[in-house]
A and B are shown apart, each in its own frame.
Chain A
């Protein structure tokens, strides 16, 4: 695959594309790492709110990943406090950002604000977001790489939830065995989606 060849070459810009694609597809935060499942299952009932939540999560992941990368490399590591304080500070940054985003959404689209309801502040405890920041640290990304990684990660999560919303829409007219209705069939579908996404794994070395 072309992308696999591209990743072999060095250079920051090509690396960024590889980071983006791997975060969104091959290393999908939800379908490969299984983080962020709760809102995924809860909000995927309706396409509109799934899409809206996806955008919100992408917004938060992108900027918190960038800020956390900056905090980690430029403040915590020089001070030697990176091991002990990273969790606390990452969570604080995420919480502040989610609040900021709530205000933005309330201002821009009150309809979306109502549709998301309690799930907006719940983004704070969405493990996919903290997970993104922590994975980024593991991979020793710079701030720019972190930004792209966060964006890709959020996009991947949004892709998963939008796909699920579409599938669930189809399910409304399908015949499901009674014992599997609800969480049963949703998780089975998620598993099948995860298997499908494994097919992307050859794309990036």
Chain B
């Protein structure tokens, strides 16, 4: 009888003692104390509690490194240049880094634990990145597979960005998705409307974020996003004529850029080639045609590449062919491209063939 009481008590007691020992060990051994992080060679100095991944540590100090997978070590977006103090490369990092990156001391910040003082280098623009919460003000269908989501920012209530930049939208845990992930979308609203962020989101079959946007997200829902990120923007050389090529959700940064140009009453010669397969893939046609009247020098050229376009009076053919037909040469011109890798590769080919040097072709490659 006594045995039935004593045995469990004994096992429990010993386990408790061991557990207490381990907790004590963790407090002393795994405690890395305060570590100093030097950013951009003295540009900014942080004093942080060690022991957490660099990505999370920086986020706690309001410095947001881009990350799609939320720190799970799969997306490889969170690369940071670590000058000193990085230690050996973890196996989970090694699989995501190329040999050149390893030689250049590039690390995957969500897998690098802060154990000692570090010196890192990050692009200056990342200091402007903030974390926002907002409310969905409007969702409207632009085409059968593209939605425009307009978010009213709540906390902070305004965003400062250059037209052409993007934000990362958080898709929360839902249905089959166990943890939040982030996906990048260009800001399609102009900077003057700083209290809002508009995005054009195209449905990806089996996509975690787009499935959430298309099936679950409703007007009035709260969303989380961070930004602005990205280097895609107009050059400062206003003397150059611009050739824009984008279709589908690739229009997003241009919708922001062109409305900003309209507000600034800029007089830059610009031709926007909008490629699509069929009429059902076209959108904002009226708005762009109106812009042709409001913006001197702006021309809008939609083109359909699919067969059987009998009702269509506009340009026909692959967008690269249409560009080829309308562009006499590359003299004094710049190219701006936005869309999938295939479209960008084909467009770069046609623009360089016309004589526009590669340094004057700017693009935001979504893939």
Contact = CB atoms under 8 A, between A and B. Distances in A.
Q: Do A and B touch each other in the complex, judged by CB within 8 A? A: yes
Given A79-B6, A107-B30, A114-B88, A100 B14 contact: no
Contacts of A75: 10
A117 B91 contact: yes
Contact of A93 (B18, B88, B89, B90): B18
B29 interface: yes
A42 interface: no
22 contacts: A71-B14, A79-B6, A79-B10, A81-B7, A85-B7, A85-B10, A89-B14, A92-B14, A92-B15, A92-B18, A96-B18, A100-B22, A103-B26, A103-B30, A104-B29, A106-B30, A107-B30, A110-B87, A110-B115, A111-B87, A111-B88, A117-B91
Contacts of A96: 18-19, 21-22
B1 interface: no
Contacts of A111: 87-88
Interface string A23-62: 0000000000000000000000000000000000000000
Interface of A is mostly: helix
A107 B121 CA distance: 26
B11 interface: yes
The 9 closest A-B pairs by CB, nearest first: A96-B18, A111-B88, A103-B29, A107-B29, A100-B25, A110-B87, A81-B7, A103-B25, A103-B30
Q: How many residues of B sit at the interface, in one of the four size bands? A: 20 to 34
B175 to A, nearest CB: 31
Interface of A: 71, 75, 79-81, 84-85, 88-89, 92-93, 96, 99-100, 103-104, 106-107, 110-111, 114, 117
Contacts of A71: 14
Contacts of A107: 29-30
A82 to B, nearest CB: 11
Nearest to A106: B30
B3 interface: yes
Nearest to B90: A114
Contacts of B19: 96
A100 B21 contact: yes
Nearest to A84: B7
B21 to A, nearest CB: 7
A85 B3 CA distance: 11
Contacts of A104: 29
A81 B29 contact: no
Nearest to B24: A100
Given A92-B15, A92-B18, A96-B21, A110 B10 contact: no
Contact of A81 (B10, B15, B18): B10
Contacts of B6: 79, 81
Given A103-B26, A111-B87, 8 more contacts: A92-B11, A92-B18, A93-B14, A99-B22, A100-B21, A100-B22, A110-B88, A114-B88
